[in-house]
Structure 1
Amino acid sequence: MDFKDKTVLITGGAFGIGKIMGRKVLERGAAHLVIWDLNPEGLQQTESAFSSLGGEVTGIVMDLSDVKQIQWAAAQTRSVAGVPHVIINNAGIVVGKMFHEHSHDDISKSMKINADAPMHVTLEFLPEMLRRNSGAVCTIASSAGLISNPKMSVYAASKWAATGWSDSLRLEMQQLKKDIAVTTVMPFYISTGMFDGVKSRVLPVLEPEKASERIICAIEKKTKLLAMPMPYWFIRLSQGLLPLPVFDWVMRDVFGIYDTMKEFRGRKGDGL
Structure 2
Amino acid sequence: MMKYYQNKTILITGAASGIGKLFAERVSEVTGVRLILWDISAKSLQKMEDELAPKTKVVICELDVTDSGQVEREANHIMGQKIIPDLILNCAGIVSGKLFHQYSYQEIEQTLNVNVTGSMNVVRAFLNEMIHRGTGHIVNLASASGYIGNPRMSVYAASKWAVMGWTESLYLEMKEHQTEVNVTAVVPSYINTGMFEGVKAPLLTPILETDDIVERMLRGIAKRKRTIQAPFMVRFTPFLKGILPASVFDWVAGRIFGVYKTMDSFKGRGK
Question: Normalised by the shorter chain, which TM-score bucket?
Answer: over 0.9
TM-superposed CA distance for 1:81, in Å, is: 6.8
What is the 5 A alignment of 1:87-98?
Answer: 87-98=88-99
Query: Match for residue 243 of structure 1?
Result: 245
TM-superposed CA distance for 1:209, in Å, is: 0.7
Distance 1:268 1:71, change over 3 A: farther
Whole-angstrom distance in 2 between the partners of 1:157 and 1:81: 37
Whole-angstrom distance in 2 between the partners of 1:97 and 1:70: 30
Whole-angstrom distance in 2 between the partners of 1:18 and 1:81: 24
Letter in 1 for 2:23: M
Q: Is the 8 A contact 2:188 2:234 kept in 1?
A: no
Query: Match for residue 176 of structure 1?
Result: 177
What is the 5 A alignment of 1:148-163?
Answer: 148-163=149-164
Highest relative contact order (Cα 8 Å, sep 6+), 1 or 2?
Answer: 1
What is the 5 A alignment of 1:173-212?
Answer: 173-202=174-203, 203-212=205-214
Residues 44-94 of structure 1, C-alpha deviations (whole Å, 9 max, x = no match): 1111111232x2011100111211121122123334571101000111000
TM-superposed CA distance for 1:232, in Å, is: 5.1
Query: Match for residue 119 of structure 2?
Result: 118
Whole-angstrom distance in 1 between the partners of 2:135 and 2:188: 26
RMSD value over aligned CA atoms? 1.5
Distance 1:80 1:40, change over 3 A: farther
Identical-pair percentage: 40
Q: Is the 8 A contact 1:34 1:77 kept in 2?
A: no
TM-superposed CA distance for 1:228, in Å, is: 1.0
Q: Is the 8 A contact 1:197 1:263 kept in 2?
A: yes
- Stretches of structure 1 that go unaligned for 5 or more consecutive residues are none
Q: Is the 8 A contact 2:90 2:139 kept in 1?
A: yes
Q: Is the 8 A contact 2:65 2:121 kept in 1?
A: no
Distance 1:142 1:241, change over 3 A: same
TM-superposed CA distance for 1:31, in Å, is: 2.5
Query: Match for residue 164 of structure 1?
Result: 165
Whole-angstrom distance in 2 between the partners of 1:187 and 1:77: 31
Q: Secondary structure at the match of 2:4?
A: coil
Q: Secondary structure at the match of 1:267?
A: coil
Q: Secondary structure at the match of 2:252?
A: helix
Distance 1:177 1:197, change over 3 A: same
Q: Secondary structure at the match of 1:189?
A: coil
TM-superposed CA distance for 1:224, in Å, is: 0.3
Q: Return the match for 1:35 from 37, 43, 57.
A: 37
Q: Secondary structure at the match of 1:45?
A: helix
Bigger shift: 64-73 or 110-119?
Answer: 64-73
Whole-angstrom distance in 1 between the partners of 2:71 and 2:258: 38
Whole-angstrom distance in 1 between the partners of 2:149 and 2:200: 16
Letter in 2 for 1:156: A
TM-score relative to the length of structure 1: 0.94
Whole-angstrom distance in 1 between the partners of 2:233 and 2:138: 21
Residues 13-65 of structure 1, C-alpha deviations (whole Å, 9 max, x = no match): 01111000011222233421001000011001111111232x20111001112
Distance 1:160 1:243, change over 3 A: same
Q: Secondary structure at the match of 1:266?
A: coil
Q: Give the count of matched residue pairs.
A: 268
Query: Match for residue 132 of structure 1?
Result: 133
Query: Match for residue 23 of structure 1?
Result: 25
Q: Is the 8 A contact 2:75 2:125 kept in 1?
A: yes
TM-score relative to the length of structure 2: 0.95
